[in-house]
Structures are given as structure tokens and as C-alpha cells.
């Protein structure tokens, strides 16, 4: 539907997110750009009797959603990987490993997602090796920050008693000094970097399938965090005219010097693919108990894992900013959040095409809650993590620290810019789950009914803005995306309900009726 002719669309309601006119009935579009929003009478008078009309009633239209934190190509490839999420125990998980191992050659590599580290106490490495039957097997935790490798996998990767732990990583060892197969944080990179990588055609095909799935979920833009190999796949689609997402691509910290040498700055690129910031990790995650905390985890002396020193973080944030590159920094534990805020407050931000941001900002000390807003730092958060982490938070961090966890209302009221995403493949690339979690603060079974820390709930319209306006501002695109207004790109989604006013229990079953990117119909369920 990408055309230079003028056409119009009618819906039950159009959520424009414009402060001066938040609702309308119709949109007029030409050449991928919104020409006008207004009532039926206003748009009919503008487009004239010969214009094409698309009637989507009784659907409600909203701006296209952005997934502000996704690992795009890795998620697309992982959609077909075996999943242990439904296994109820380690023994059941091992049975699934054994079944899969019997079906592949001995030189194969097998990766299983959604392994639960808390099951591991039920088994030892010998049992994993028996199930693996000589194959290289990696059981990767739901949060991707820890994993359990078979002996054959460790042999191929060179994980031995003599190999030292990497900085910011941990290899668990038994009383005899031999690795048990448990790798955390930067040690798990040995698996990610050592396993065979799919060929470019396979990655390309997976990305096309993932793009279609995102359109079906109402997502028209993503902020992805991956290396140059993934960037090249996305760039290939962009060159061939097949890229139908707006992609902001953050590069890993290890490529900072290369980008500076090439003169690449944040904002470099075109309307479909642009460079964002430099992604750095300061700690791990709650599920693997590697998030770096100010005080120990409940019932232990362990404070998690700090992946970067303060000096390295401050140095690279400043070096990137001086070269025109923003920083996007993973920080989950309250100690990691504090160290990150310290570094970003000291970093120059003037002249950057996109703002600095913190990814996750999951547990924040009360004294640090106002600091992101004061420093102009974006809070890139994933409310759907609440659905998984809810039973883990208080046992790990206690009730007192839990009050600073997923503090959405407190951060928003402090003036923080929120940009919501999924962190797929950690969670599903489905904005309905994050929307449900942010307005209800309940698990998937609807508990607790009143909402966990209900005072931190957001309204439907606030969540809608965190999936649209917030990400557009975080990407430096606020003048063209995130709202439905004249001069803005015609990126919009028709839903079967009005998300801004729907009850939490209705959100998870909401359906996308149609998705448009640049005025082109990319998904149609009518």
C-alpha cells in the first residue's frame, strides 16, 4: 500500500498520543506519511470523494509499538531451538536432552533454552553427560546469564581446570578443582562464541520470519543489541527492500574502538536502519543470582557479579560520548544501577543524536530513583520480566529491597523517560505481556489480584506511551515517530480493543487486526 496517492483509514478510535488532540476517528496518508488526523467529516473534506478508504471499525488504532530491547537475530534464530520451559524438573529436562541427542550425529551441538538453574541440585555432571551421549550440550538459563555444559561441550571449548575465569565471569569448580559445567556471565561467552554459527542464508531466513511475527504482534520498530554479523543481515534486508521494521542497532562494547576509528556516531543510517549506542554490561541477572547488589542476597554472603570495573565503565562511557556515541548500559542490581548512574551523570551528553540509557534498571535503591530523570537518562525496561521474576524477587532480595524493584510509577513520577521492550529471547517478543504486567502487576494466573506493589502500576495510556513515544525519543526519532500526527511516519496498528482503557485480564487476549509501516500494510488479519 506504499503509494503517493492520498488515502484514508477509519477506526472506532485513533489514539494519536498528541497532547492537543489525543483522539480522532480517521487518518489521511500519502507516500508513507500521515497528512492529517481528524473526524470523519474533516478527513472526507480533505481527501475528496475519489480517495481510497480503508474502514477498520470496530478496531482501535494506536501508533506502532517499539520493542526497545530485543536481540533481534538471536531471537529470530532461537524461535526454533528446543525449549525446557515446560519441563517440571531436572529429570524431565534430561529426558528431553536424551531424546534430542539420539536424533543428531555425535559431532552436533545442542542448545536448550529456558533451563532452570534451581533444578540443578537434583543432578550432577555425570547425569547430564549420560543424557548428552557424547554430544556438546548447553542448557541455557532463562535469563541467558548462566548455563550448564556437558563434558563434551567443555572439551570442545577448552574449559579445563587450568583455564582461569575471565574477568566478570565465573566457572563453578568441584572439590577436585574440575569444572562442573556451570558457567556464569562472561564465562558463558565461551559457549556463545565457540558454538557453530548459522550461515548467513539461515540467519536471513530466520530474520524474515521474525519480522513477520513482530508485525503480527503490533511491533513496527525495534532497538536491538547485537554484533556486526547481525547488523550485516539486517542491512542486507534493508538494501534489498525487504526490511519492514525500523531498527536502531546498538553495538557491543568490544567494537567501540572500531566504530570510533570509522567515524560512526549514534544516529548514523537511514529511515529503516540506524546506529544507536554502545552496549555495556555492568552485572548479571536475578534468575542466575548474578545481579550485582549493594548488600548480599538473602541468606548468603554473595552480592552477585560485577562485570565491569567502575574505572573501565567511566572511561568507555566518556570515550564513546566524546566520539558522538551514546551509551546503553545493562544494570539490574542496585549496586550496578548506582555505578551506572555515577558514570552517566559524569558523561557529556550534549550533541548526541540519541540519549544515554540504562537497560533494565530492575532494582533501584530509593535514593537513586530520581537520578535518571535528572541526568536525562532513558529507563529502557521490560515489564514482562515481572511475570517471570515475581516469585524470585523477595526470596533473593528481601521485602525491603523489593520496594525498589520494577519501580515503574516511582520512576515515571520522577520524570524519567520510559521505553519498554521484551528482552527477547529472554521473554516473548509480545508487547501484550509487558502491557499486562505494567498495568496489573500480576502473574499470568492473575495473582496477586490487587497487584504486587500495586502503587507502582501504570495506566493504560502511560504504558502505551512507553511503547511508542518513549522509544521514539530514545531513538532520536520523536519528530517523526511515536505519535500519529501530520508529518509523522504512517506506522500504526489496529487492535481489536482500545489498549489504553482495557482491563488487565483482557490485554493478553487482544488481537492485532492490521499493522502498517510507512503506510504499507505488512500484516492483515481481517
Q: pLDDT tens for residues 329-363?
A: 999 999 999 999 999 999 888 889 999 999 999 99
Q: pLDDT tens for residues 430-477?
A: 999 999 999 999 998 999 999 999 999 999 999 999 999 999 999 999
Please state, in angstroms and rounded to a whole number, the distance separating the CA atoms of residues 366 and 286. 19
Q: Which of 194, 217, 232 is the last residue of a domain?
A: 194
Residue 32 lies in a domain: yes
Is 33 in the same domain as 96?
Answer: no
Mean pLDDT within 245-273: 97
Please state, in angstroms and rounded to a whole number, the distance separating the CA atoms of residues 265 and 263. 6
Please state, in angstroms and rounded to a whole number, the distance separating the CA atoms of residues 45 and 42. 5
Is 110 in the same domain as 178?
Answer: yes
The answer, yes or no, to whether residue 135 has pLDDT greater than 90, is yes
Between these two residues, 88 and 233, which has the higher pLDDT value?
233
Supply the angle between the helices 228-240 and 200-216 in degrees, to the nearest 10. 70
**Of residues 406, 505, 486, the one with CA closest to residue 454:** 406
Mean pLDDT within 236-243: 97
Lowest mean pLDDT among 10-14, 78-82, 518-522: 78-82
The answer, yes or no, to whether residue 1 has pLDDT greater than 50, is no
User: What CATH number does residue 108 fall under?
Assistant: 3.10.310.70
Please state, in angstroms and rounded to a whole number, the distance separating the CA atoms of residues 242 and 264. 24
Q: End-to-end distance of the chain based on CA atoms, in angstroms?
A: 16
**Of residues 186, 498, 50, the one with CA closest to residue 513:** 498
Q: Which of 194, 209, 243 is the last residue of a domain?
A: 194
Residue 407 lies in a domain: no
**Helix or strand run (H / E) with residue 81:** none
Is 103 in the same domain as 183?
Answer: yes
Beta-strand pair 512-517/273-281: unpaired
**459 SS3 class:** coil
Residue 209 lies in a domain: no
Q: What is the pLDDT of residue 348?
A: 82
The total of other beta-carbon atoms located within 10 Å of residue 31's CB is 13
Is 54 in the same domain as 91?
Answer: no
Please state, in angstroms and rounded to a whole number, the distance separating the CA atoms of residues 443 and 145. 23
Ramachandran category for residue 165: left, alpha or beta (phi over 0 → left; psi -120 to 50 → alpha): beta
Is 88 in the same domain as 161?
Answer: yes
Give me the percent of the chain exceeding a pLDDT of 70: 99
Give the pTM.
Answer: 0.93
Any residues with CB less than 8 A from the CB of 233 and at least 6 apart, and which? Answer: 73, 200, 203, 204, 207
The answer, yes or no, to whether residue 186 has pLDDT greater than 80, is yes
Mean pLDDT within 411-428: 97
DSSP state of 435: H
Residue 473 lies in a domain: no
Q: Read off the pLDDT band of 118 (50, 70, 90).
A: confident
Q: What is the pLDDT of residue 463?
A: 98
Residue 128 lies in a domain: yes
Is 88 in the same domain as 189?
Answer: yes
Mean pLDDT within 148-173: 95
Phi, psi of 276 (to 5 degrees): -95, -110
Query: How many separate domains does the chain show?
Result: 2
Lowest mean pLDDT among 115-119, 222-226, 354-358: 115-119
Please state, in angstroms and rounded to a whole number, the distance separating the CA atoms of residues 385 and 16. 28
Q: What is the pLDDT of residue 86?
A: 87
Q: What is the pLDDT of residue 232?
A: 96
Q: Convert 75-112 to b/e letters by CB count within 10 Å (16 or more is b).
A: bbbbeeeebbeebeebeebbebbeebbeeeeeeebbbb
Residue 309 lies in a domain: no
The total of other beta-carbon atoms located within 10 Å of residue 67's CB is 30
Is 97 in the same domain as 162?
Answer: yes
Is 48 in the same domain as 102?
Answer: no
Please state, in angstroms and rounded to a whole number, the distance separating the CA atoms of residues 432 and 508. 5
Q: What is the pLDDT of residue 51?
A: 84
DSSP state of 517: E
Mean pLDDT of the chain: 95
The answer, yes or no, to whether residue 159 has pLDDT greater than 80, is yes
Residue 497 lies in a domain: yes
Is 186 in the same domain as 150?
Answer: yes
Q: Contact, 106 vs 459, CB < 8 A?
A: no
Q: Contact, 248 vs 223, CB < 8 A?
A: yes
Q: pLDDT tens for residues 288-320?
A: 999 999 999 999 999 999 999 999 999 999 999
Q: Read off the pLDDT band of 3 (50, 70, 90).
A: low
User: What CATH number does residue 9 fall under?
Assistant: 2.30.40.10
Q: What is the pLDDT of residue 2?
A: 43
Is 97 in the same domain as 188?
Answer: yes
**Of residues 143, 167, 136, the one with CA closest to residue 71:** 143
Q: Which of 159, 194, 229 is the last residue of a domain?
A: 194
Is 85 in the same domain as 189?
Answer: yes
Is 185 in the same domain as 89?
Answer: yes
Query: Domain of 165?
Result: 81-194
Q: Contact, 46 vs 93, CB < 8 A?
A: no
Residue 25 lies in a domain: yes
Amino acid at each position: 500500500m506504499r503509494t503517493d496517492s492520498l488515502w484514508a483509514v477509519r477506526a472506532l478510535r485513533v489514539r494519536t498520543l498528541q497532547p492537543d488532540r489525543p483522539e480522532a476517528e480517521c487518518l489521511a496518508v500519502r507516500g508513507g506519511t500521515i497528512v492529517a488526523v481528524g473526524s470523519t467529516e474533516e478527513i472526507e473534506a480533505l481527501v475528496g470523494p475519489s480517495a481510497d478508504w480503508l474502514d477498520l471499525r470496530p478496531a482501535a488504532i494506536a501508533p506502532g509499538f517499539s520493542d526497545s530491547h530485543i536481540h533481534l537475530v538471536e531471537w529470530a534464530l532461537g524461535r526454533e531451538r528446543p525449549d525446557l520451559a515446560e519441563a517440571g524438573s531436572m529429570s524431565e529436562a534430561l529426558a528431553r536432552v536424551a531424546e534430542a541427542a539420539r536424533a543428531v550425529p555425535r559431532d552436533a551441538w545442542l542448545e536448550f533454552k529456558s533451563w532452570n538453574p534451581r533444578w540443578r541440585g537434583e543432578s550432577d555432571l555425570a547425569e547430564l553427560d549420560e543424557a548428552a551421549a557424547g554430544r556438546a550440550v548447553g542448557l541455557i538459563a532463562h535469563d541467558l546469564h548462566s548455563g550448564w555444559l556437558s563434558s563434551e561441550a567443555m572439551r570442545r571449548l577448552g574449559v579445563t581446570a587450568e583455564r582461569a575465569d575471565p574477568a566478570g565471569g565465573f566457572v563453578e569448580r568441584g572439590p577436585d578443582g574440575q569444572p562442573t559445567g556451570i558457567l556464569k556471565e562472561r564465562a558463558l561467552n565461551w559457549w556463545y562464541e565457540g558454538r557453530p554459527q548459522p550461515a548467513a542464508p539461515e540467519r536471513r531466513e530466520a530474520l524474515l520470519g521474525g519480522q513477520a511475527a513482530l508485525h503480527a504482534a503490533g511491533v513496527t520498530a525495534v532497538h536491538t543489541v547485537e554484533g556486526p554479523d547481525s547488523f550485516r543481515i539486517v542491512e542486507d534486508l534493508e538494501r534489498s527492500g525487504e526490511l519492514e521494521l525500523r531498527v536502531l542497532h546498538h553495538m557491543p562494547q568490544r567494537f567501540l574502538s572500531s566504530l570510533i576509528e570509522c567515524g560512526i556516531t549514534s544516529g548514523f543510517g537511514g529511515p529503516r536502519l540506524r546506529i544507536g549506542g554502545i552496549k555495556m554490561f555492568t552485572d548479571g541477572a536475578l534468575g542466575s543470582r548474578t545481579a550485582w547488589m549493594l548488600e548480599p542476597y538473602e541468606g548468603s554472603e554473595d552480592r552477585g557479579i560485577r562485570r565491569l570495573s567502575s574505572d573501565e565503565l567511566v572511561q568507555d562511557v566518556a570515550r564513546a560520548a566524546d566520539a558522538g556515541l551514546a551509551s546503553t548500559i545493562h544494570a539490574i542490581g542496585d549496586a550496578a544501577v548506582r555505578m551506572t548512574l555515577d558514570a552517566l551523570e559524569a558523561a557529556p551528553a550534549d550533541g548526541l543524536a540519541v540519549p544515554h540509557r540504562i537497560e533494565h534498571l530492575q532494582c533501584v535503591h530509593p535514593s537513586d530513583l530520581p537520578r535518571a530523570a535528572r541526568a536525562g537518562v532513558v529507563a529502557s525496561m521490560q515489564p514482562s520480566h515481572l511475570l517471570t521474576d515475581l516469585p524470585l524477587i523477595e526470596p533473593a532480595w528481601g521485602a525491603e529491597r523489593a520496594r525498589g524493584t520494577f519501580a515503574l510509577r516511582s520512576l515515571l513520577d520522577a520524570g524519567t523517560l520510559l521505553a519498554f521492550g521484551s528482552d527477547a529471547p529472554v521473554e516473548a517478543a509480545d508487547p501484550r505481556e509487558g502491557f499486562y504486567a505494567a498495568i496489573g502487576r500480576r502473574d499470568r494466573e492473575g495473582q496477586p489480584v490487587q497487584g504486587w506493589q500495586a502503587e507502582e502500576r501504570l495506566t493504560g495510556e502511560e504504558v502505551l506511551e512507553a511503547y511508542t513515544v518513549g522509544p521514539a525519543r530514545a531513538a532520536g526519532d520523536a519528530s517523526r515517530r511515536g505519535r500519529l500526527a501530520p508529518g509523522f511516519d504512517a506506522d500504526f496498528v489496529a487492535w481489536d480493543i482500545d489498549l489504553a482503557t482495557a482491563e488487565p485480564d483482557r490485554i493478553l487476549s487482544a488481537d492485532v487486526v492490521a499493522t502498517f509501516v510507512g503506510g504499507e500494510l505488512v500484516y492483515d488479519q481481517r
